[in-house]
Amino acid sequence: MQKTGLTIRDADAEGVAIVHISGYLDGHTIMNLERHIDQLTRTGRKRMVMELSGLAYIASAGVGLFINISHRLKGQGGRLELVSPSESVMEIFTILGLDTILAIHPSLDAGLSAAKS
């Protein structure tokens, strides 16, 4: 059985875009997230929290996208905070050393607090 599909849901908390991502972020779904983030940044969103508790799988392309989004937002004076990654996604972040490059928080509240500072 092939596992596919990505669900993206938005919320807002005092000017911070909260993007809930669930499913599988791979070569087939990455463009959906990339377009979604582009749309948010075109509307002036520079501070984002990506809630990852429902993300079951992330491919290398997805990891690269998070790095690119982080750099883009920093260049605009904003920031990207990742929160609540699943155990399997956090393991990938740790193996790749991304836990030292990207801001990863254990809870949505912690990520929102960091995004607002």
* Domain boundary assignment for the chain: 13-116
Sequence length of the chain is 117
Each residue's pLDDT tens digit, 22-76? 999 998 899 999 999 999 999 999 999 999 999 999 999 999 999 999 999 999 9
> Which residue shows structure tokens 């070569």?
27
Task: From residue 8, give the alpha-carbon distance in Å to each of 1, 37, 72, 80.
Answer: 22, 10, 20, 16
CATH H-level, domain 13-116: superfamily: STAS domain (3.30.750.24)
* Its pTM surpasses 0.85: yes
Q: What band does 117 get if pLDDT is binned at 50, 70 and 90?
A: confident
Which residues neighbour 59 within 8 Å (Cβ) at sequence distance 6 or greater?
Answer: 25, 26, 27, 30
Q: Which of 27, 24, 82, 80 is nearest to 57 (CA)?
A: 24
Distance CA(73)–CA(29), nearest Å, equals 21
pLDDT exceeding 70 applies to what percent of the chain?
Answer: 97
